[in-house]
């Protein structure tokens, strides 16, 4: 296509792309935080001492923007208490001691789906959230009232972050699950146009999805330039449809729903088997990892157990991340668990994790030139320093998706993403204060 948003060419480092996922056995324990999704924390429905099997409901969703949680191993609930999350907040968590049997719950059975409402309810009960890293409850995306609003369903197979290949393995190894889900969405929601976006450096995945598309007239594969952040929701919409999602609006406001390819495959598996989301394919890589590979992991497994399954470390890691090096989140230690939305865990060597030396801003404009949304990070940083909320709103700081393109290209090593996060928080605080004042009038 002729149109294109800005971005950056990042090193791919797709070391595990040719490695089918291997299944890890039951860990000794799993810890399931009640916050593994955007929205309100789930509410535990089990107590200490209860026996659970794989697929047993252990926490129910609280409100619409929430998601249920299921046991990923069979065994006994040993603890329910608060745990520290990687973002510094705390949340309740359920710890299960595994009996090593991985016994499947008698409640696991394929859902009965006869119409659109049944399908959306099935997706809700599955506990599936955005598995590309966002964690938004998936059923909410399809629960749009009138399904005819969905003009295009866009399947995100871009996987543009360095190292991560778990979505690539989905497209290669689970095309049947994806196809089953697509047929259900077409039949029950009337979706007639499905676009699968894949970067052009994933030749085998493109071929696999083209084979799927050849058997489904509603599906088209869109081969896209390998340009980060190609997998960003609004970027992907623009590059596959030409539509622009206005600031403050959602994809459905322009007739689009975006679904990650692994999320789609999980929907297909749930519709066929009734097994809710209890495991995740995770790319394990980085310069400190002895045996990089893709691993199918019970959700709640400690990162340390996963790294041990991959042979441990060759050197002490300088930094461990959930996700990729561009948008990933550093974890405090490897005792934290694999979450629903964990698509990769990286253990980076000192060389890989070395930060740029920070110097004075050069006013070179590289940050603005590579921002997909044409934001001005220098101006945002200056406005934040002055605490100028009105200027930050004018500069549209809240449209920043924190992709890191600006920081990646900054020769001065400025903390641009950190500035943007603080600036967005300042705008939210000021808006809340204004709202509270207006309410007292």
Question: What pLDDT, on a 0 to 100 scale, did the predictor assign at position 100?
Answer: 97
Residue 2: per-residue pLDDT: 43
**In the prediction, which pLDDT does 1 show?**
38
What's the topology of domain 1-23+108-354?
Rossmann fold (3.40.50)
Contact between residue 29 and residue 76 where contact means Cβ atoms under 8 Å apart: no
Q: How far is CA 319 from the centre of its chain?
A: 20
Tokens encoding 131: 């598995």
| pTM: predicted TM-score of the whole model, two decimal places | 0.94
Domain spans, the chain: 1-23+108-354, 366-440
pLDDT of residue 4: 59
Task: For residue range 152-181, list pLDDT tens digits in order.
Answer: 999 999 999 999 999 999 999 999 999 999
Q: What are the φ/ψ torsions at residue 271 (nearest 5 degrees)?
A: -65, -30
Instruction: Determine how many CB atoms are found less than 10 A away from the CB of residue 1.
Output: 12
* Alpha-carbon distances, residue 258 vs 72, 136, 157, 232, 235 (angstroms): 27, 11, 11, 10, 11
Q: What pLDDT is stored for residue 255 in this prediction?
A: 98
Q: Mean pLDDT by 10-residue block, N- to C-terminus, for the chain (441 residues)? A: 71 96 97 95 98 98 97 98 85 97 98 98 98 91 96 97 97 98 98 98 98 98 96 96 92 97 98 98 98 98 98 97 95 95 97 92 93 94 96 95 94 94 95 90 74
State residue 87's pLDDT score: 75
Contact 236, 77 (CB under 8 A): no
Contact criterion met (CB below 8 Å) for 376 and 353: no
How much is the pLDDT for 438?
A: 87
């Amino acid at each position: 296509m002729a149109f294109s948003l800005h971005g950056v060419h990042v090193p791919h480092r797709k070391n595990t792309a040719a490695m089918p996922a291997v299944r890890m056995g039951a860990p000794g324990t799993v810890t399931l935080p009640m916050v593994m999704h955007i929205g309100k924390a789930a509410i535990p429905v089990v107590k200490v001492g209860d026996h659970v099997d794989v697929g047993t409901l252990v926490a129910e969703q609280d409100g619409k923007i929430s998601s249920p949680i299921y046991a990923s191993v069979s065994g006994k609930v040993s603890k329910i208490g608060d745990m520290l999350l990687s973002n510094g907040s705390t949340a309740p968590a359920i710890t299960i001691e595994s009996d090593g049997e991985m016994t499947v719950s008698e409640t696991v059975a394929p859902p009965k789906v006869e119409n659109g409402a049944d399908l959306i309810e099935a997706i809700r009960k599955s506990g599936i959230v955005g598995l590309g890293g966002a964690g938004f409850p998936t059923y909410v995306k399809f629960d749009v009232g009138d399904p005819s609003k969905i003009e295009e369903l866009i399947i995100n197979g871009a996987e543009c972050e360095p190292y991560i290949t778990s979505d690539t393995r989905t497209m290669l190894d689970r095309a049947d699950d994806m196809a089953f889900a697509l047929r259900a969405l077409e039949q029950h929601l009337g979706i007639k146009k499905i676009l699968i976006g894949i970067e052009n450096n994933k030749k085998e995945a493109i071929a696999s999805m083209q084979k799927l598309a050849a058997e489904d007239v509603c599906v088209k594969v869109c081969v896209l330039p390998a340009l980060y952040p190609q997998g960003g929701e609004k970027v992907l919409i623009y590059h596959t449809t030409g539509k622009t999602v206005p600031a403050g609006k959602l994809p459905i406001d322009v007739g689009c729903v975006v679904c990650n390819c692994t999320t789609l495959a999980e929907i297909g598996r749930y519709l066929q088997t009734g097994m809710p989301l209890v495991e995740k394919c995770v790319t394990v890589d980085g310069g400190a990892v002895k045996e990089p590979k893709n691993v199918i992991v019970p959700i709640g497994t400690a990162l340390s157990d996963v790294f041990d399954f991959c042979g441990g470390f060759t050197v002490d890691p300088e930094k461990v991340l959930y996700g990729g090096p561009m948008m990933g989140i550093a974890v405090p230690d490897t005792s934290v668990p694999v979450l629903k939305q964990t698509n990769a865990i990286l253990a980076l060597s000192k060389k890989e994790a070395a930060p740029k030396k920070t110097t004075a801003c050069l006013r070179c404009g590289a940050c603005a030139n590579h921002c997909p949304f044409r934001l001005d990070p220098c101006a945002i940083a200056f406005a934040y320093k002055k605490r100028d909320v009105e200027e930050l709103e004018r500069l549209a700081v809240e449209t920043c998706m924190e992709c890191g393109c600006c920081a990646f290209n900054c020769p001065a090593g400025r903390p641009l993403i950190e500035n943007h996060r603080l600036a967005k928080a300042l705008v939210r605080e000021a808006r809340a204060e204004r709202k509270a004042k207006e309410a007292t009038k």
